[in-house]
Amino acid sequence: MSIRFLFAVMAIAALAGCANDPAPAEQMKLTEKAVEQAKAVGATDDEAEFQAAQAKLAQARSDMTRESFKAARMQAEQAELDARLAEAQVLTAKSEEQITQLNTRLN
């Protein structure tokens, strides 16, 4: 009976440990770098995706201060994806502009 009790205590301890989400410090760093990179390639507040990334990053920071780590992680992940999408759209637009210029020169 003591072995069953020990297993029950271990199971409860394991579940309690899983319930606490750790602070998403690494995800926050990745997201901040993604937003900075998008800005570095030319993303501006005019792009909806870049605005969304900045807003979600701000929400993630707010969630971090309230120690709502699961919400912070989700917002940070979404912000990272929005920032990467904004970066890709800017780079695509620049590439298309270069192609147009080259085609104009060739004709």
pLDDT digits (tens, 9 = 90+) for 51-76: 999 999 999 999 999 999 999 999 99
Task: Tell me how crowded residue 63 is: count the other CB atoms within 10 A of its CB.
Answer: 19
- Does the model's pTM come out above 0.85? no
Instruction: Convert the pLDDT of each residue in 18-35 to its tens digit.
Output: 557 788 999 999 999 999
For the segment 33-60, the average pLDDT, to the nearest whole number, is 97
Please report the pLDDT score of residue 29 as a whole number: 97
Contact indicator for 73, 23 with CB cutoff of 8 Å:
no
Q: By C-alpha distance, which of 47, 55, 52 is closest to 93?
A: 47
The helix-helix angle for 48-65 and 25-40 (nearest 10°) equals: 150
Considering only 13-17, 18-22, 48-52, which range has the smallest mean pLDDT? Answer: 13-17
**Structure tokens, 62:** 């707010």
DSSP label at 37?
H
